Structure 1
Amino acid sequence: MPVVVVTDSSASLEPELVERYGIRVVPLHVLAGDEDLREGIDPVPADLTGVTTSGASQNELSEAYAEALDSSGGAGVLAVHISRQLSATWEAGRQAAQKFGGNVRIIDSQSTGMGLGYPVLEAARAAKGGAALETVYRRAVDVASRGHCLIVVDKLDQLRRGGRIGTAAALLGTALAMKPVLHLVDGRLVLKEKTRTGTKAVAKMVDAAVEYAGQGRTAIAVHHMDARRRADAVAAQLKDRIPQISDIVVTDFSAVIGAHVGVGAVGIVLCPEPSVQDEEGDSSTTPD
């Protein structure tokens, strides 16, 4: 039986893809008052103002890995999770994976949203094709290493309160009505550029995405938090300006991510496909 791929709900994968490739999705948690809601399982309030979040627990991940390993018939499990800089989920997964020896490999995607979803899908496709665990692992690491994630938020207050961005960067977002463009670097959300208006921030984000895409084939996801019209406009600009888009989707941020980025946030995830030269070279990997 094939290797089974496990991820978490921040990947924002379409249910049809999850079912097609047999991906196991472990829910992250939205904490609303006294309620602990499992994303993707329990109803989550539309208004996420004031809610907090938490990662998947070691016990939850251990149970998911055990079930996946059993389903694989011993072929193994690859777990690809949200950046350890954004959630405690990867660390909980690392501890859980130790119980299974080398049968469960774990990857820090250093991203979230489809920045996590793209390596998960690459791993799942390889697994469905019969690839061994080590090959599935290398394919996912390669895709994760090529991804870029950019985001514009209306306010940085929620990111600062949740500890996802430093206080100094948060102050830049309020001083003189500055609107920052943020990006993920080594899994950490940092300031890329500051502008004076939201319109200029989105324009700068699109410019950066076009530069990252270059001339090669690129898969793109545009995420948003209750800002579908804005996200559609961004997607239209990317279609006009990027010559070779292999696939483009517009989708909501997951509730757990939406609780931190706030209403009006729009993000772009790019996954450039490897060139022929890249494919002929050796694939590099990062430690589990």
Structure 2
Amino acid sequence: MPVAIVTDSTASLPAEVAAERGIVVVPLQVVLGATVYDEGADGATPEMVAAALREWKPVSTSRPSPAALLEVYEKAAADGATEILSVHLSGEMSGTFESAQLAARDASVRVVTVDSRQVGVGTGFATLAGADVVAAGGTVDDAAAAARARGEATSSLFYVDTLEYLRRGGRIGAAAALLGGALAVKPLLQIEDGRVASLERVRTSARALARLEELAVQAAGDLPVDLGVAHLANPERAELLADALRRRLEANLEDREVWCGELGAVLGAHVGPGMIAVCVSPRA
């Protein structure tokens, strides 16, 4: 294991995929009331977060500390890694990338940190792009370049029932322009240069789902893509969207599966129940 791959829990990598590829996943934390949990099946789950938000209980999130990341890097070094690629969610949305940079300075082996400029599975696809290069015998710098390029090429689009949760968490960014009419519309948002930005306004959730489908097809074009659909407490509509995209983008997918599942607890805390997202990540 000359090059180890590290990412964080917001990358939404299925546990079996991370295990198969040897990717180390560092958890972020969710604070429910006065209790701190690691994000994950044995800690903070999407269901816990959705329930707390509906009940107006205090919910916040926090990044892993530099010390926690350094411990991960040193464990990888002890296991034989001579270099480490560490890929994380947008530094505009979280301090996780900053923690990785600080930890890298004190690591006993070289650590190359990458800000994916993405969130959710967009970060996951960037991480896998880096892992592909390493698996093919490429250098850690080549892997970092591939991860950055994948993040830049990826389109992350999402619908929220309300902007209230993004407003509470201070993550609304350029989407603030929508606030004045938030009660009358269903906002479609995107990740643009690492931040949440407004995309369109639609009148109904059904229309929002239809527009997400069209925008995803446009983003894919004629390129081979990886595709992910995520939701928070909205599984039926997420599956409808995933099924439609499987049919319409069959040629682009080239027999690759569409990932469809619940958004992690950390990101879920900022978008709220009802959210549906689609991530289109070109492979070329």
Q: Distance in 1 between matches of 2:231 and 2:159?
A: 10
- Cα 1:73–1:6 change in 2 (3 A) is closer
1:66 aligned onto 2:91: no
The AA in structure 1 aligned to 2:232 is M
Q: What is the aligned-residue RMSD (CA, Å)?
A: 1.8
1:132 maps to 139
Shift of 1:26: 0.6
Q: Which residue in 2 is equivalent to 1:281?
A: none
Map of 1:28-177 to 2, 5 A cutoff? 28-40=28-40, 42-44=42-44, 45=48, 47-49=51-53, 50=57, 51-74=59-82, 76-100=83-107, 103-166=110-173, 168-172=176-180, 174-175=182-183, 177=184
Check conservation: 1:147, 1:269, Cα contact below 8 A.
yes
Q: Partner of 1:284 in structure 2? A: none
Cα separation, 2, equivalents of 1:2 and 1:90:
22
Work out the CA distance in 2 between the residues paired with 1:126 and 1:161: 39
1:178 deviates by 1.0
Q: Counterparts of 1:62 and 1:193 in 2: how far apart (Å)?
A: 41
1:27/1:41 contact within 8 Å kept: no
> Quick check: 2:162–2:187 contact (8 Å CA) kept in 1?
no
Once the two structures are superposed, residues 162-218 of structure 1 have per-residue CA deviations (whole angstroms, 9 ceiling, x without a partner) of 01104733514524x111110000010010011111111222222111111001211
Q: Which runs of 5+ in 2 are unaligned?
A: none
Q: Report deviation, 1:71.
A: 2.5
Q: In structure 1, what is the Cα distance between the partners aligned to 2:169 and 2:141?
A: 35
Counterparts of 1:79 and 1:107, CA distance in 2: 6
Instruction: Give the C-alpha shift of residue 126 in structure 1.
Output: 2.5
Equivalents in 2 of 1:73, 1:215: separation in Å?
38
1:266 matched residue in structure 2: 276
| 1:9 and 1:27 in contact (8 A); partners too | yes
Choose 162-171 or 205-214, whichever is displaced more.
162-171
- Quick check: 1:48–1:258 contact (8 Å CA) kept in 2? no
Task: Give the residue type in structure 1 aligned to 2:107.
Answer: F
Following TM superposition, the consecutive aligned residue runs of length 4 or more in structure 1 with deviations greater than 4 angstroms are none
The separation in 2 between residues aligned to 1:188 and 1:214, in whole angstroms, is 24
| Equivalent of residue 178 in structure 1, options 177, 181, 185 | 185
Q: How far did 1:17 drift?
A: 1.0
CA deviations over 1:226-273 (Å, ceiling 9, x no partner): 111100111122123224224311011011011111111000001112
Are residues 195 and 172 of structure 1, via their aligned partners in 2, closer, same or farther at CA, if it must alter by over 3 Å?
A: farther
What displacement does 1:21 show?
A: 1.3
Q: Work out whether residues 90 and 108 of structure 1, in 8 Å CA contact, stay in contact via their aligned partners in 2.
A: yes
Q: Structure 1 10/48 Cα, relative in aligned 2: closer, same or farther at 3 Å?
A: farther
Tell me, yes or no, if structure 1 residue 194 matches structure 2 residue 201. yes
Q: Which residue does the alignment assign to 2:236?
A: 229
2:232, 2:262 within 8 Å by CA — same for their partners in 1?
Answer: yes
What residue ranges of structure 1 are gaps of 5+ in the alignment?
275-288
Contact 1:157 1:170 in 2 (8 A): no
**Partner-residue secondary structure (3-state), 1:244:** helix
Q: Secondary structure at the match of 1:264?
A: coil
* TM-score normalised according to structure 1 size: 0.89
Letter paired with 2:279: V
The AA in structure 2 aligned to 1:57 is: S
The residue aligned with 1:213 is: 220
Match of 2:267 in 1: 257
CA distance in 1, matches of 2:232, 2:92: 21
